[in-house]
Structures are given as structure tokens and as C-alpha cells.
Amino acid sequence: MEKIILGSHVSFNKNDQLIGSIKEALSYGANTFMFYTGAPQNTNRSPIDVELTHLAHKILKEEGIDPAHIIVHAPYIINLANRNHFDFSIRFLREEIRRVESLGFKNLVLHPGSHVGVGIEEGISTIVSALNATVDSKTKVKICIETMAGKGTECGKSFEEIRKIIDGVKEKDKIGVCLDTCHIFDAGYELSDVDRILDEFDRIIGLSYLSCIHINDSKNSKGSHKDRHENIGFGHIGFSTLLQFLYHPKLKDVPKILETPYVTKQNSDKKRLYPPYKFEIAMIQNKEWNSHLIEDIRTYYK
Ligand code: FE
Ligand code: FE
Ligand code: ZN
């Protein structure tokens, strides 16, 4: 079986920290994972526990998981494109970089931000100043700028916009790109020919910048600018196209992360949510779409 670097979004809680994240990833059959160091929508962060981190790295080694494949996602309240939030965003991004460094990881995925009305040019130049104020030659983490769907005034909705950001950053070797399949599809890219899209990415940005891929299907059609993720093979991108990204030889060394929605299940008293990742990973490894995936998940989580 071809080995791909595949995992999903997992939780990170203040008591177990990485130990909990690793256990969750292993329970899905993953060999990597992505997490937020706290709630994505706020800046409450508990201190990183040195002992737990040390133990976690021992477990990673035993399990054959390369720490360089693990991804941290910055909270999305950081908005580097908005001058009014500039100081707050820079301060918090710096703290987040320190946390990723102390966890012993290399990749921090970041949404470039929304310009909230000042225009894309101004937005991009604000992002560039913010990155130059945050990253220097001693930074040990790569900031992986995520491709966005173009919802509202989001910057980074095309390869050209991402290129402009990289062009302005001084420490280019501290910058990577995270390609999100749902986002670029919603932004208007035709994905059915994966070789073509990778050639375009290579020509405009450079494949060497590609540090992470978010593998998501989309609830909406191409160019919808909606950014609503769907389970693998259940959306408008489709299983065969996503499989091409997952198994493309040029992307062999790039970690792939699922951020697909949890499955709802109505139990006697209340509605509960269950993670789809164990089942999606198995389906990807089988390379065969399972039309009963959602029902299978509901049956498994009794
Ligand atoms: Fe993201
Ligand atoms: Fe994403
Ligand atoms: Zn998204």
C-alpha cells in the first residue's frame, strides 16, 4: 500500500495537551494531525506543559510519527490584513509562534486575513508588514499561508494574491503555503485536472512552498465563495478528484489534513456530533468511495 501522510484536525485540551491529540489521531488510523493550541475563536491559551510535551515526543517516536509532519493552526481571530487589529494580531501571532516552537513543531497554518473594505492591495501590504514584523531569521516555525475561498473580503483567494504576499516578505524561507481544496474550489478553481492545477500553483507560487494540504470536499459549487466543508466524496469536488490530490507523486511528502464536518446523530434526548475521520481515512486507504459512510459512522458511535 502506498504510504501517504494523512491525518485530521484533532482536539488539544489543557489537561492532556499533546498526549490527548496523539491518542485521538491514532484512534483514527492517522500518521499525522493538526490542532489549535486553544479555542480557534479566542485567545485564551493555557501554558504549554514541558513534561507532557517531552512525553508526547517519545510517543511520536515510538509510533513512527514525524513531528515535522504535524500542523498547528493559528486562531482565526488573528487578522493581519486589518490595520485596526494590527498590534493585537502581531502580538498574538508572536505568542503563537513561541508556543509552536516550545511544542517542537515546524508548521503554523495561518489565514492571511480579511481587508474589511480597504481593498485587496492595501490588505496585502498590511499582511506583508505584519509578517515582516513577526518573522525574523531566528524564527524556527514556518508560517503556512492558507489559500482562502474569497468569502467576504478575505485575502489570499488566488495563487497570485498568495504570491504577492510572499514577494513582500523578507524571510521567504520562513513562509509556506497551505492549499485547502474546498477553499480554492469555492474561490473558482477547476480541480478535476489536478496536474493542471499543480502546474499553475508551481508557475505562480512554486511547489517548494507547499507545506500542507487541507483535503475537504465542498458543500457548494465552484466559485461560490462560501467556504463550507463537506465530507470526502459527498460534495461538489468529488472523491476521484480528492484522491488525485491525496496520491499525487508530486505531493508525496506534503502532509494532508482532513477538516471535514462531524456527523450529527439524533440520540433519544439530544443531537450529538461524531468525528468522521476514522472512516474517511479508511475509505481513502481503500481508494473506493463508500456511499454508506455517514450511516456507518452513526452505527459505530453508539
Ligand atoms: Fe484554515
Ligand atoms: Fe483549511
Ligand atoms: Zn474552510
The cell numbers describing 271, all together, are 443531537
- Cα 252 to middle of ligand 1, angstroms: 21
Give CA–CA dist 15/251, Å, rounded: 35
Q: Which residue has the cell 481515512?
A: 281
What structural domains and CATH numbers belong to the chain?
6-262 (3.20.20.150)
Q: How does strand 271-274 pair with strand 263-266?
A: antiparallel
Give the three cell numbers for residue 51: 513534561
Judged by its nearest atom, the ligand closest to the C-alpha of residue 144 is 1
Instruction: Give me the pLDDT at residue 216, please.
Output: 98
**Under 8 Å CB-to-CB from 156, ≥6 apart: which residues?**
111, 112, 145, 146, 147, 148, 162, 165
The answer to whether 5 and 32 are in contact (CB under 8 A) is yes
CA distance 34 to 36: 7
pLDDT digits (tens, 9 = 90+) for 1-13: 678 999 999 999 9
Q: Could you say which ligand is closest to the alpha carbon of residue 183?
A: 3
Task: Give the distance (Å) from ligand 2 centre to CA of residue 235.
Answer: 16
- 100 — phi, psi (to 5°)? -65, -40
Contact criterion met (CB below 8 Å) for 6 and 45: no
130 phi and psi angles, rounded to 5 deg: -65, -45
CA separation for the pair 187, 156 (Å, rounded): 10
pLDDT at residue 1, as a whole number: 60
Backbone angles phi, psi at 211, to 5 degrees: -110, -15
Distance 268 CA to ligand 1 centre (A): 34
Residues of the chain with pLDDT under 70: 1
d(CA 208, CA 194): 17
Among all bound ligands, the one having the nearest atom to the CA of 180 is: 2
How many Å is the Cα radius of gyration of the chain? 19
Contact 40, 75 (CB under 8 A): yes
Question: Which residue in this structure is represented by grid cell 468511495?
Answer: 289
The rounded distance, in Å, linking the Cα atoms of 115 and 152 is 9
Looking at the CA of 111, which ligand is closest? Answer: 1
Ligand 2 centroid to Cα of residue 77, in Å, is 15
Q: How far is the CA of 168 from the centre of ligand 1 (A)?
A: 22
